[in-house]
Amino acid sequence: MRHRAGAVLLLGLVGLLPAPVVAQDGRVVRGRVTDAGTQGPLQAAQVLITGTRLGSLTDGDGRYVIRGVGGTSVEVRVVRLGYQPQTRTVTLSGPETTVDVALEVSAKALDAVVTTATGEQSRRSYGNVVATVRADSLAEKAAATNVNELLQGRIAGVQVLQGAGQTGTSSSIRIRGTSSLSLSNEPLIIIDGVRIDNSPVPGNYSTQRINNFSSINPEEIESVDVLKGPSASALYGTAAANGVLVIKTKRGRTGTTRWNISAETGQVSQPAEFFDNYRAWGRNLVGGTPAAAAVLCRVSDKSLGRCVQDSLTTFNPLSNPETTPFATQPRAQLGINASGGNENLRYFFGVERVEETGPYRMPDAEIARLTTVRGTRPTGRQIEPNQLTQTSLRGNFTFPLGKKADLSLSTGYSDRSLLSPFDGGFFAGLSFQSFFAPGFRTAYNGNSAQFMGDILSVEQFRRDQRFTGSSQLEWKPFTWLANRAVVGLDQLGGYSYRFSRANEGTVTGWGPPGQTGGKDATRSVFSRYSVDLGSTASFTLSPSISSKTSVGAQWFKDTQYETVVQGYTLPPGAQTPNSASIRTSSEFTSENATYGAYVQQDFAWNERLFLTGSVRTDQNSAFGRNAGNTAYPRAAVSYVISDESWFPASTHLNNLRLRAAWGRAGVQPGTIAALQFLSANTVPLGGTEVGALRLAAIGNADLRPEVTTEIETGFDVALLNNRINVEATYFRKRSTDALFQNPLPPSYGAGANQWQNIAAVQNAGAELSFDVRLLNRDWLTWNAQLNGSLIRNKLVDAGNAQLAVTQGSRNVVGYPTFGLWARPIISFADANGDGILTEREIVLGDTAEYRGPTLPVREAGWTNTFGFLKNQLQVSTLLDYRGGHYNQWGFENQRCISGNCRAVNDPSAPLADQAAAVTTTSALLGNSVWGYFVQNDFIRFRELSVSYTLPTSWAGRLKSSRATVAVVGRNIGLLWTRYPGIDPESNGSVNNTGGGNNDYFSAPLLRYWTLRVNLGF
């Protein structure tokens, strides 16, 4: 109720604002913007009077109005993503002038603007490929639940790696592979000029991956520019080696106040088909005669003549309708925003509320059992243990400060609460108790040793309150000089806990002895401060040569303060650790600062050949004291060769741009990785324990950041009157000074490891994007986007690092990082013809061999958008492909070890499955898991969207100027896969650092169906 009250209050305040008073002096320019091919209206096109702050956005019917236009002749410029910009010189006659504009489609306009470290610049002048996602138009039809979903399958070289299928969990973003063995592989994220935190939330008791980026509301975003590697992101310095996401939130435009309302209702479900658990029954053979008692008789025992099998039972508590904890649950969203302004103020206000219940529900039989045992019904949080609520507020404002300066304020606030089911790697958790249960309905309703109601009675809760704000001053004292100052803060306060009341929860599992009750709790405050100063001087050196010189200085500081408490054995009714019999507490403080400066020089020749050179230098408090500053240079060239007079004129080849770039960027070590420090301990002295200090880490005074150097080359080409646009890119990047925790000899007497710069990792590959306008008729349009990449990754050098040699995910020089290694199954044969494999019938390799990479080598996304009835009805689909990688099929491996998979119980199981099961359970065969390294290729039907823009007359009946209705499905199903498990995207290994691919303790992906209504006023 608190969140709803805040949202209503903000809307009330916004409603009290008067409509902006636009200037009444001058003339009025109005008109309509349409698609030249379909003659249909274009919404959200920007119409600007060049040289002034006057402008407007087109409405749902493509119409615009600009008031207060001075002079007798003006330039009207119309810009919309996906169309060629158009500029007209218009003579004003009378009080009103009508200017109608028809735009030609151009999927990849070279005149489009991208955001870089020095400010905005045209795509044609930038020597790298930059992908842009227009989130403002996409979110209305894609109904994305988080920002990562806007990127998924839409950008070559960008992989969104799913984690667990739970409401509120996070996926990972990998751009051009994995570069670090120990540090983060996530990109740097910037929102309205401020660096924001994307680290795992502290005190995450959900046992699933949750990143701080999850709280960013996709409905507030206007666009996302993706700088893919160091050759593009060098000026962002230490933190940008993995690429940069530059996010702009929505802004107001000059004109009357425009209100928008969006509402969603839908459902969330768990569509997976879970495997049955097996149990083989039989009789022991005593002197060749079956005994009377029924016993477990696995196929291996049967083959050795120890028992005779007489029956096989199966049961799965996740699939049985009486015991399953899964149920289809609701999702709802309501958002309202307003934007507008005049020459004195432009503004955007927005508020949104999301409520989603994950697809978990306590079975009715368990509710009845617990009601009987406790005398009261389980709480709502125990019955529905996966709930997400989030209230998001945003206010963006732009003020002119005289004629030469503008001040922009960007503010965002979110209040997010997440309840997660007790799962993960706990023996008493949901997955362990259900996946590894025997193949019959046990006394625990099919579970292994815990009732489902007791499992779901363990509450795991997280609340985050986040404020992200920035102020940006742009000052142009002269026509040739532009100055920029950005000051910002990203602050996140969190509170999380795991809790079970006395006489509730699991009997064993996470902390309290038995059902005595307990609570683990964490309170944390993370703050990231940003200061960014920059100036750009532009000169015309000759009629054909222009110059831009940019300089800048930056300062960033991160602080994190965290307190952790634990209390076990609670009295009845108690809910705080204070009342527990067993109590512990600890606190953690981390502070880190970065100081940087850069200079960049750009030259342009006839606006077709562009040369760039730059260098940035950084100092970070996490560097060793002997490390000094780190320099990050960059050089780039962009050549629009088709603009040359001598270039052959052709209706088939419209534009051709050649580009190349080289650059470096870094990733900083952990805050205390370079430090020598002491830790507190107790030691026996005189028969009593007394406090003492010991050397906990020897530090490393020479510790440096990991530095990644990248070269990128490619071309952009537009064909057949801009109907086909192609971007082709080759890249190679190498990370040196990669950090690794190298083990120390025990003689050091200080810690087990030391952080050292000793490794090198290489990623190389090719990216290809096609944007094709296949049909453009008034009755049917068909646009297709196909993107894909091929990425090869390997560990080039490990120095003197003592790399792990255990089977599974391993790092080996000359092979992909986090590749899969084990002793291979050379062959197997059923020698005695009984249909059952034993140890003696399997041949295993003597040493571990490489099976394959865990991250996709190939990825592709294919989007098709069909428009009917002048694009009033649109149907869009997105298919997502990943391939060339392997999954360490952990669930099936552990099921066979526990004895409940088919391969160890059913004599008719395929021999290959039996071979995998026998080797993993056999000490004679080294317990090799080779048989569970399985291919992970798949094609998923990622999105389906059907949207209809109501005719203006219909929208008018709703008192609206425009109205759209959309039905959206997400994660609809697998079209094809080589993966034999439940879901090829289940990955319990994915996180910010490192890699790997293992479905162990990771629930399959969720499916969403949503009905969305958008209204404009």
**Res 14 pLDDT > 50:** no
Contacts of 482 (CB under 8 A, 6+ apart): 119, 474, 475, 476, 535, 536, 538
**For 352-361, how does the pLDDT look when each residue is reduced to its tens digit (9 = 90+)?**
999 999 999 9
Please tell me the distance from the alpha carbon of residue 869 to that of residue 150, in angstroms, as a whole number: 27
Instruction: Specify the domain boundaries for CATH 2.40.170.20 within the chain.
Output: 136-270+322-818+854-885+936-1016
- State residue 681's pLDDT score: 78
Q: Is the pLDDT of residue 5 over 60?
A: no
Cβ atoms within 10 Å, residue 712: 25
| C-alpha 241 chain-centroid distance | 17
What Å distances lie between residue 175 and 19, 710, 764, 791, CA to CA?
44, 13, 12, 10
What is the arithmetic mean of pLDDT over 478-504? 96
d(CA 226, CA 245): 5
Rounded distance between C-alpha atoms, residue 406 and residue 487, angstroms: 14
Q: What 3 state SS string does 221-263 have?
A: EEEEEEECCHHHHHHHCECCCCCEEEEEECCCCCEEEEEEEEE
Q: Looking at residue 176, what DSSP letter applies?
A: S
As a whole number of angstroms, the distance between CA 540 and CA 605 comes to: 10
pLDDT at 287 (0 to 100): 86
Query: Residue 211 carries which DSSP code?
Result: B
Phi, psi angle pair for 921, to nearest 5° = -100, 0
Tokens, residue 574: 């108690």
| C-alpha dihedral sign at 162, 523, 245, 946 | positive
> How many CB atoms neighbour CB 150 within 10 A?
19
For β-strands 545-568 and 63-69, DSSP reports them as: unpaired
How high does pLDDT run on average in the chain?
91
Cα 655 from Cα 734, distance rounded (Å): 32
Cα distance between residue 163 and residue 644, in whole Å? 49
CA–CA distance, 109 with 725 (Å, rounded to integer): 9
Q: Where in the chain is the domain with CATH 2.60.40.1120?
A: 27-106
Mean pLDDT, residues 389-413: 95
Give the pLDDT confidence of 817-839 residue by residue, as tens digits. Answer: 999 999 999 999 999 999 999 99
Q: What's the one-letter identity of residue 703?
A: L
Q: Quote the percentage of the chain above a pLDDT of 90.
A: 71
Query: Phi/psi at 722 (nearest 5 deg)?
Result: 65, 20
Amino acid at 463: R
More confident residue, 208 or 975: 975
b vs e for 595-611, b when ≥16 Cβ sit within 10 Å of the residue's Cβ? Answer: bbbbebebbbeeebbbb
d(CA 647, CA 769): 24
> What confidence tens digit (pLDDT) does each residue in 241-260 have?
999 999 999 998 877 898 99
For the record, the structure tokens of 676 come out as: 């020598």
| pLDDT greater at residue 591 or residue 120 | 591
In single-letter form, the type of residue at position 765 comes to: G
Token reading at 278: 């097996």
For residue 429 the two structure tokens come to 């958790």
Overall average pLDDT of the 898-926 stretch: 95
Segment 366-386 mean pLDDT: 97
Q: What are phi and psi of 929, to 5 degrees?
A: -100, 15
- Whether 745 contacts 279, CB under 8 Å: no
Specify which residues 392 forms β-bridges with: 352, 414
Task: Please give the CATH number for the structural domain made up of 27-106.
Answer: 2.60.40.1120
Run of H or E including 141: helix 135-142
Q: Which amino acid is at 51?
A: G
pLDDT band at 742 (very low <50, low <70, confident <90, very high): confident
Chain position carrying tokens 């057949």: 720
Q: Which regions of 277-318 does DSSP assign to beta strands (E)? A: 277-286, 289-296, 307-315
In degrees and rounded to multiples of 5, residue 843 shows phi and psi of -110, 125
Nearest to 114 by CA among 191, 227, 218: 227
Distance CA 666, CA 618 (A): 10
| Statement: residue 15 has pLDDT above 50 | no
In angstroms, the CA 364 to CA 342 distance is: 59
- Which H helix or E strand runs over 65? strand 63-69
Q: Does domain 136-270+322-818+854-885+936-1016 have CATH number 2.40.170.20?
A: yes
Phi/psi region, residue 573 (left: phi>0; alpha: psi -120 to 50; beta: rest), is: left
| Of 252, 473, 248, 472, the residue nearest 346 (C-alpha) | 252
CB-facing half-sphere around the CA of 759: CA atoms within 13 A: 25
Q: Three-state SS for 383?
A: helix
Does residue 134 contact residue 114 with C-beta atoms inside 8 Å? no
Give the pLDDT mean for 379-393: 97
pLDDT attached to residue 743: 86
> Would you say 550 and 600 are in contact if contact means Cβ atoms under 8 Å apart?
yes
pLDDT digits (tens, 9 = 90+) for 155-193: 999 999 887 889 999 989 999 999 998 899 999 999 999
Q: Where are the beta strands (DSSP E) in 162-207?
A: 172-175, 188-191, 194-196
Structure tokens at 609: 């050949």
Average pLDDT over residues 81-98: 85
Q: Is 824 helix (H, G, I), strand (E, B) or coil?
A: coil
Residue 60 is predicted with a pLDDT of 67
Section 65-88 average pLDDT = 85
Give the Å distances, CA to CA, from 342 to 57, 399, 723.
13, 10, 37
pLDDT at 720 over 70: yes
Mean pLDDT computed over 676-701:
83
